[in-house]
Amino acid sequence: MARIPRELIPWYPTVNTDLCTGDRACFDFCRNDVFAWDEETGRPIVKNPYSCVLGCDACAQVCPAGAIAFPTQEELKATVRRLREELAV
Ligand code: SF4
């Protein structure tokens, strides 16, 4: 069965660097190599956004500063629905 290319689905964390305190909780938590650590700024970088597991927002939940945002689950579902129709997969 054909699949939607992961790169077409905008599901990944966005870090608000104004709120981030640089505690590394997200970087230490994620096992999928989504984050890199920027030693210069002392903040995470979303290095591999498409390694993020679809629907997973666990790093946002471990962030005590509320600095990580994701699309909503409803937006994700709507995107997948639209792409399925457009790509006929
Ligand atoms: S968990 Fe939140 S506050 Fe900590 S480094 Fe990541 S984004 Fe910044």
Q: What is the residue extent of each domain of the chain?
A: 6-87
pLDDT in tens, the chain (89 residues): 579 999 999 999 999 999 999 999 999 999 999 999 999 999 999 999 999 999 999 999 999 999 999 999 999 999 999 999 999 98
Q: Which of 22, 52, 51, 50 is nearest to 37 (CA)?
A: 22
Task: Look up residue 74 and give its two tokens.
Answer: 């409803």
Residue 32 CA to ligand 1 center (angstroms) comes to: 16
CATH 3.30.70.20 assigned to 6-87: yes
Atom of ligand 1 nearest to the CA of 22: 5
24 pocket-lining for ligand 1 (C-beta < 6 Å): yes
Which stretches within the chain are classed as H helix?
Answer: 25-29, 58-62, 73-87
Q: Which ligand 1 atom lies nearest to the CA of residue 65?
A: 3
Is any ligand 1 atom within 6 A of the Cβ of residue 23?
A: yes
